[in-house]
Amino acid sequence: QSQELSEAQIDYHAALQALVENGTRMVCTGRMHTDRICRFESLCYSTEAEEFIYFHSNSSVMLPNLGSRRFQPALLDLSSVEDHNTQYFNFVELPAAALKFMPKPVFVPDVALIANRFNPDNLMHVFHDDLLPIYYTMQQFSDLDLEARLFFMEGWNEGVHFDLYKLLSNKQPLLREELKTLGRLLCFTKSYVGLSKITTWYQYGFVQPQGPKANILVSGNEIRQFTKFMMQKLNISLEESSSEEYIVVFSRTINRLILNEAELILALAQEFQMKTISVSLEEHSFSDIVRLISNASMLVSMHGAQLVMSLFLPRGATVVELFPYAINPEHYTPYKTLATLPGMDLQYIAWQNTDREDTVTYPDRPWDQGGIAHLDKAEQERIIKSTEVPRHLCCRNAEWLFRAYQDTKVNIPSLIHVIRQTVKSKPGPRKQKWSGSLYPGKVRDAKCQASVQGTSEAKLAVSWQIPWNLRYLKVREVKYEVWIQEQGENTYMPYILSHQNHTFSENIKPFTIYLVWIRCIFNKNLQGPFADVLLCST
Ligand code: UDP
């Protein structure tokens, strides 16, 4: 690898001179450490100190220049998980003159993206925290192209899904430990530090119980652009007119088992008259699983990280998530949130085992596999008696782990019943028309004309033109919303209208100033912006 790094020819002396003279240059985006990504020239890293170094010189730049606020709590989050105190990034500062006394720098010629993976052994975390954020961080900055190199600083080894990370760029990603083999002082010619959080949809419960993020900013479209990229890299072609429809049962083989899987597969096949196949991460290659899921009509699986693969389902498919006894599906919704993102166009169904007879617990296993033998007797008894795990914070709640690692005998009639409430006929990818939701622009040329009749009655005739983009669109239903507000009042009268003009006479007083707000609405719920307020005096 060190050979690979030095392949690109750089003029060492020129590079060293530039570093000494120009020092480090940093310009960041983002107002807070939680939304910041920084671009550096000549950011260095001491593999001995395991610290990044910023060299000051006459030409160095540091924006934002935070002073000691840089440590409150950090310059930025190095992973995509918000404000996690083990994932902070900072650098130490030195004058460029100190380079004279330091090891000779080794220059990294590739444009670098420097970040932390959050939990590279868990597939949900791999996709949600790392792959999607890396992909879209690279989309944000044009020099982070396929020739850029990823540097993972969290300190883990490759992990079981390293091949997936390798798909994101043509260069082998480098891990923190590997940097030591490159030299004692590394200097990144050009680098970006931090990851975009714009695609993440779930928070894992570090400060409040887990749940969907408060402000989700990603839609199915961006998810599918990413999966399309991944599938191209995996050499999987989307079979447009695949003949046979089928159901995939994604099983776990180590823990959280479906005890009657054969029976389940048979029942699904019979009920939906579809071939039903079972896959697992242990028995199938990742590409094979993606190939199968990307054409499936339904994906059935125990709650767990493997369900993040519903990312690859075709539009219109159904996700069925099975929850063990005492685990409330509403409290653990990473996959529900994913399936129901706007534009994902998946149907989501949760089933929970509510029958104690159908669960197999493992109280004697180690704590991290759900064992509870280490707890005192009273607490063990309470957990065993409890019918629902109370909401809790991440990550070591014994009751949660105990219930999460149960095996389940799935009650087939109950499961089929739940699926049938949503899937009436055949499940599966509908060849849907594109029902893209486009919003109207502002209405144009709004005008009003008042007429006064006597001392107590008045009328207000308001008219406007259609939004500019409407003439290029086919829209099922176009309506207009008009608010009429008397100047100085903080209430208004709302109207929904079908035409581009209307004469208002109800509650309109003479010799009064009205503010008229107008916006267009497509298909009942696609509300456009209000046009500039119209001042109308009667
Ligand atoms: N895993 C698996 N088969 C199993 C158990 C786990 O493939 O029988 C995978 C799982 O999909 C995840 C990782 O191993 O990627 C860690 O699983 P864990 O139970 O810790 O996490 P969870 O699935 O609950 O998020």
> Roughly how many angstroms between the first and final C-alpha of the chain, as a whole number?
79
Residue labelled with tokens 């950011």: 43
Residue whose entry in the numeric block shows the structure tokens 């019918």: 387
- For 425, the 3-state DSSP assignment is coil
Indicate whether residue 369 lines ligand 1 (CB < 6 A). no
Among the ranges given (1-10, 12-21, 407-416), the one the predictor scored with the smallest mean pLDDT: 1-10
For the stretch 38-92, pLDDT in tens is: 999 999 999 999 999 999 999 999 999 999 999 999 999 999 999 999 999 999 9
Contact 414, 341 (CB under 8 A): no
**Mean pLDDT to the nearest integer, 353-380:** 98
Q: What is the pLDDT of residue 10?
A: 76
Whether 8 shows a pLDDT value over 70: the answer reads no
User: Residue 238: which pLDDT band, with cuts at 50, 70 and 90?
Assistant: confident
CA trace torsion 108, 111, 114, 117 (10° rounding)? -110
For 240-278, the pLDDT digits (tens) are 666 799 999 999 999 999 999 999 999 999 999 999 999
Residue 339 has pLDDT above 90, yes or no: yes
Q: Which atom of ligand 1 is nearest to the CA of 252?
A: 8
Does the ipTM surpass 0.90? yes
pLDDT in tens, 132-174: 999 999 999 999 999 999 999 999 999 999 999 999 999 999 9
pLDDT of 324 reads 98
Q: Locate 143 and state its tokens.
A: 């020099």
Closest CA to 126 of 291, 358, 281, 325: 281
Judge whether 219 and 355 are in contact, CB under 8 Å.
Answer: no
Query: Using 50, 70 and 90 to split pLDDT, how confident is the model at 1?
Result: very low
The atom number, within ligand 1, closest to the CA of 253 reads 8
Burial of 211 (0-12, 13-18, 19+ CB in 10 A): middle
Give the C-alpha distances (Å, rounded to integers) separating 452 from 40, 301, 382, 537.
67, 69, 76, 10
Q: What H or E segment, with its residue span, contains residue 26? A: strand 25-29
d(CA 46, CA 53): 7
Distance in angstroms (rounded) separating the CA atoms of residues 190 and 173: 16
Nearest-CA residue for ligand 1 atom 16 is 122
Structure letter (DSSP) for residue 372: -
- Decide: 146 and 139 in contact? Cβ < 8 Å: no
Structure tokens at 259: 């005890």
List beta partners, residue 359. 408
Give the Å distance between the CA of 296 and the centre of ligand 1.
Answer: 22
Q: Taking 70 as the threshold, does the pLDDT of residue 2 lie above it?
A: no
Q: Where in 442-524 does DSSP place strands (E)?
A: 444-453, 457-465, 478-486, 493-497, 501-504, 513-522
Q: Is 306 in the pocket of ligand 1 (CB under 6 A)?
A: yes
pLDDT band at 521 (very low <50, low <70, confident <90, very high): very high
Spacing, Cα 436 to ligand 1 middle (Å): 35
3-state SS assignment for residue 331: helix
pLDDT at 488: 95
Give the whole-angstrom CA distance, residue 179 versus residue 174: 7
**Per-residue pLDDT tens digits for 423-482:** 988 777 655 555 568 999 999 999 999 999 888 899 999 999 999 999 999 999 999 999
Q: What is the pLDDT of residue 69?
A: 98
Closest-lying ligand 1 atom to the alpha carbon of residue 404: 24
Contact 458, 450 (CB under 8 A): yes
pLDDT of residue 243: 73
103: preceding bond cis by omega (within 30 degrees): no
